Copies of this chain bind each other. A is one copy, B any other.
């Protein structure tokens, strides 16, 4: 079952001195993102330099903004094709079989201090049966142990700090989930997205773990359904895929996000128990 979404964002800034921005807010050009129609409007208009990361299709664009107001408006329609599978059939990929180009997602990164959390992860999750269920157990732990609370963290909060503080926002839930995975030798990465049903509307962050040869989506916050996420980017952690990286003096205004079903698109049932992947299964795999 495919669903078509209308989505977008509206960002405003008051530029004080010439500012270079790098944005990562456009829908990723993935196979599962069908019939993407989109429009990006920058006011006042500015020359864009663009870059798409070949391996993961993150789309960045950079502009140089002059003093005065700046508005970035993006809107898109896309049909989302979600791959579902029975979680029980999804095993962890043994280390000896992991593709080496995935190694970066096993390593600690700025906000994912997985090296410091090795013993913690081992003690909490080391004894659990390996597979998709173990990462779900991590998400359940996050949900049970961390409070979702705006203002409880800032842009420099790391996974081990969130663990101490027992609170965070979606970014922090994702960082700690990724840290636990990596500490257990499960490759994991940060995902930014437009999330259908998220209240209040905002950019959302979840994570993916690499299991059985594919990346699977997880979210410890339970704030949105995994089968209603339109991906923007993936990265080692939030540092890599900030929706806006400004270099210069400016005042950000409010961020407005929209996402809704396009006309005629079916409403999905509630929270799914399926494992959800962003990648098409290999032909001989048993996913539904």
Binding site for B on A (CB under 8 A): 20, 22, 49-51, 53, 60, 62, 64, 95-96, 99-101, 103-104, 107-110, 112-113, 115-117, 119-120, 123, 145, 147, 155-156, 160, 163-167, 185, 239-240, 245, 247
Q: How many Å from the CB of A194 to the closest CB on chain B?
A: 22
A64 pairs with B164, CB closer than 8 A: no
23 residue pairs of the A-B complex, CB under 8 angstroms, read A51-B99, A51-B103, A53-B101, A60-B103, A62-B100, A95-B247, A107-B239, A108-B110, A109-B109, A109-B110, A110-B115, A115-B155, A115-B239, A116-B164, A117-B164, A119-B165, A119-B166, A120-B165, A120-B166, A123-B145, A160-B164, A163-B164, A185-B247
CA–CA, A99 and B52, complex, Å: 12
Q: How many Å from the CB of A18 to the closest CB on chain B?
A: 8
Instruction: Specify which of B96, B108, B160, B165 is in contact with A64 (CB 8 Å cutoff).
Output: B96
Interfacial chain B residues near A99, Cβ < 8 Å = 51
B123 pairs with A60, CB closer than 8 A: no
Interfacial chain B residues near A155, Cβ < 8 Å = 115
CA–CA, A120 and B107, complex, Å: 27
A115 pairs with B20, CB closer than 8 A: no
Interfacial chain B residues near A101, Cβ < 8 Å = 51, 53
Interfacial chain B residues near A50, Cβ < 8 Å = 100
B166 pairs with A60, CB closer than 8 A: no
A119 pairs with B147, CB closer than 8 A: yes
Residue of B nearest to A115 (CB): B156
Interfacial chain B residues near A166, Cβ < 8 Å = 119-120, 123
Q: How many Å from the CB of A110 to the closest CB on chain B?
A: 4
CA–CA, A145 and B185, complex, Å: 21
A119 pairs with B167, CB closer than 8 A: yes
Q: How many Å from the CB of A20 to the closest CB on chain B?
A: 4
CA–CA, A160 and B96, complex, Å: 35
A116 pairs with B165, CB closer than 8 A: yes
Q: A96-B20, A115-B156, A164-B163 are in contact. Are A107 and B240 (CB under 8 A)?
A: yes
Residue of B nearest to A113 (CB): B110
Q: How many Å from the CB of A124 to the closest CB on chain B?
A: 9
Q: How many Å from the CB of A150 to the closest CB on chain B?
A: 15
Instruction: Specify which of B20, B145, B185 is in contact with A95 (CB 8 Å cutoff).
Output: B20
Instruction: Specify which of B49, B107, B160, B164 is in contact with A100 (CB 8 Å cutoff).
Output: B49
Instruction: Specify which of B100, B164, B165, B167 is in contact with A22 (CB 8 Å cutoff).
Output: B100
Leading 8 A-B pairs by shortest Cβ distance: A51-B100, A119-B166, A20-B95, A108-B110, A64-B96, A107-B239, A160-B164, A120-B166
